[in-house]
Every structure is written in structure tokens, then in C-alpha cells.
Structure 1
Amino acid sequence: MTTPNETTEILNRPLSQEMLARDIARLAYVAEDGTPRNVPIGFSWNGTEIVMCTARNAPKLAHLTRNPAVALTIDTEVHPPKILLIRGLAELDVTDGIPDEYLEMNTTYQMTPEQRVEWEAGVRSLYHEGMVRIVVTPTWAKLIDFETTLPSAVEELFQQQAARQASES
């Protein structure tokens, strides 16, 4: 586990900041029946919290109310992949209207100004009763870039390989 200071240090790294500026995270949580769920979801990073927004009737809300423990993965589609792993507890905030974060997190999609106006009107009509903000304050983080940091299992294999090679020579 990382300490709060280690978590902050990891999240403040330039590569982590790049990852936190991306559009989509994968939100993992535990469903009522004890099975895992993992859903892609838009997010916004405000410097201390990850904010995701969803419909008030989203099934995940009941599960997050029962068990707020979540894990998030933000990654790239290139080789070698860059991966930011985050854990924390989800807090639910029911809002009237559309949260600013929801509108902000969708600004990176390529839209003409006219498309943006049309999209925003559609969002305001669809979610006219409001949304729910899912707010996660990271309690643990790991950044994997496959250059300076590796998954712990791969790191262990490299250490074993080095030990074998040292004993063979």
C-alpha cells in the first residue's frame, strides 16, 4: 500500500498528470452479488479527486452505496502501454442539473461548435432531473510505464532472471 504522501507524489508525476487528463477510465466495483464489475466511464480530475457523472438510475449507484471501494484504470493504446492504477472510496453526490464536470469532461471530443451546442442541449434534456457525481479521492496509486516502473509480478520475474543469470556465471 502507498502512504498518502506517496499517493500524492505518484499522482503529481508528469506522466500521471497526462493520464489524468485523458477522457475515459475503467471503473471497477463489486456488485451486490459479490461479482466484479468494470465499466468505462468519462472522468475529470480536479487536482485531488476523480469525478465521474452518471444517470440517477444507473445500477452501479446501488452497488457503490453498499460497497464504496473502487479501483480505476486509466491507460493508453500504444506500446509500451502507460497505465495509472488508482484505488479509493466512492462518494455519491446527487445533483440538480448537469454537473460542470460532466460538461468539462466531454470537451476533448472533437465537435464543431454547432455539434457542441446540439450535444449540450440533448444532455440537458436527457438528464433534466439531474445526475449523480461519483467522487473518488485516491488512497492508493501506481504508475506503470514499462520503462521505469513495471507491474510487480514482472518486476519479480526480472529479479529472478537476474539472480539465475548471476548464479550461472
Structure 2
Amino acid sequence: MTTPDETTEILNRPLSRELLARDLTRLAYVAKDGTPRNVPVGFSWNGAEIVICTAKNAPKLAHLRENPAVALTIDTEVHPPKMLLIRGRAELDVTDGIPDEYLESSGTYQMTAEQRVEWEAGVRSLYHEGMVRIVVTPTWAKLIDFETTLPSAVEELFRRQAERQASGGRSADSEE
């Protein structure tokens, strides 16, 4: 686990800030039947929290009310991949209007000015009864870039490999 200071330091790294400026994250949570769910969602980062906006009737809301523990993944589609993994608790904030974060969360989608006006009018018509803000304050974070940071299992394999090489290729499991 990371401490709050370590989590903040990870989230303030340049690569983390770059990933937090993306449009999509994968939200993982546990459904009422105990099985995992993982859905891609638009989000925005306000410097302290990830905000995901959704319809008031979204099935995930009932699950998050029951179990607010969530995990998020924000990553790239290039090699080597860059990944920001975040854990936290979801707080639900019901709004009467369209949250600014929702309109901002699709800010880098390629739309002409005319398409943007049309899209926003459609959003306001569709969600006229309001939305729910899913607010996640990160309690843990890990940044993986496959250059300076690796998944913990790969780090362990590199450590074991170095130990084998240092001992002349013999592993602790080999017979002598």
C-alpha cells in the first residue's frame, strides 16, 4: 500500500498528469452478486479527485452504494504501455443539472465546433433530470511505464534473474 504522501507524489509525476488528462478510464467495482465489473467511462481530474458522471439510473450506482471500493486504470495504446493504477472509494453526488465535469470529460474528442454544440444540446436534452457524480479520492496509486517502473510481479522476476546470474546460474531450487 502507498501512504497518502506517496500516492500524491505518484499522481503529481509528469506521466501521471499526462494520463490523468486523458478522456477514458476503466472503472472496476464489485456487483451485488459478488462478481467483478470493469467498464470504460469518461472522467475528469480536478487535482485531487477523479470525477465520473453518469445517468441517475445507471446500474453501477446501486453496486457502488453497497460497496464503494473501486479501482481505476488509465493507460495508453502504444508500446511500451503507460499505466496509472488507482484505488479509492466512490462517493455519489446526485446533481440536478449537467455537471461541468461531464462536459469537460470529453474535451479532447475530435469534434468540430458545430458537432460540439450539437453534442452538448443532446446531452442537455437526454440528462435533463440530472446526473450522478461518482467522486473517487485516490487512496493508492501505482505508475507503470515499463522503463523506470514495472508491475510488481515483473520486478520480482528481474530480482530472481539477477540472483541466478550472481550465483552463476544456479537457482535455489536446483539440485547440486
Q: TM-score when scaled to structure 2? A: 0.95
Tell me the matched-pair count: 169
Give distance in 2, aligned partners of 1:103 and 1:115.
13
Question: Any unmatched runs of 5+ in structure 1?
Answer: none
Alignment-mate amino acid for residue 155 of structure 2:
E
Compute the displacement of 1:135 (Å). 0.2
Q: How does 1:87-98 map to 2 (within 5 A)?
A: 87-98=87-98
Tell me the equivalent position of 1:14.
14
Q: Secondary structure at the match of 1:41?
A: strand
Identity %: 86
**Residue 103 (1) aligns with residue 103 (2):** yes
Tell me the equivalent position of 1:149.
149
Residues 47-99 of structure 1, C-alpha deviations (whole Å, 9 max, x = no match):
00000000000000000000000000000000000000000000000000100
Residues 5-53 of structure 1, C-alpha deviations (whole Å, 9 max, x = no match):
0000000000000000001000000000000000000000000000000
Alignment-mate amino acid for residue 120 of structure 1:
E
Q: How does 1:1-169 map to 2 (within 5 A)?
A: 1-168=1-168
Give distance in 1, aligned partners of 2:82 and 2:111.
27
Question: Any unmatched runs of 5+ in structure 2?
Answer: 170-176
Q: Please, what is the CA RMSD of the aligned residues?
A: 0.6
Give distance in 2, aligned partners of 1:140 and 1:130.
30
Give distance in 2, aligned partners of 1:80 and 1:108.
22
Compute the displacement of 1:165 (Å). 0.7
Alignment-mate amino acid for residue 86 of structure 1:
I
Alignment-mate amino acid for residue 99 of structure 1:
P
Structure 1 runs (4+) greater than 6 angstroms displaced: none
Q: Secondary structure at the match of 2:167?
A: helix
Compute the displacement of 1:108 (Å). 0.8
Q: Secondary structure at the match of 2:132?
A: strand
Give distance in 1, aligned partners of 2:145 and 2:118.
38
Q: Is the 8 A contact 2:23 2:107 kept in 1?
A: no
Q: Which has the larger radius of gyration?
A: 2
Residues 144-164 of structure 1, C-alpha deviations (whole Å, 9 max, x = no match):
000110000000000000000
Compute the displacement of 1:3 (Å). 0.2
Alignment-mate amino acid for residue 100 of structure 2:
D
Compute the displacement of 1:106 (Å). 1.1
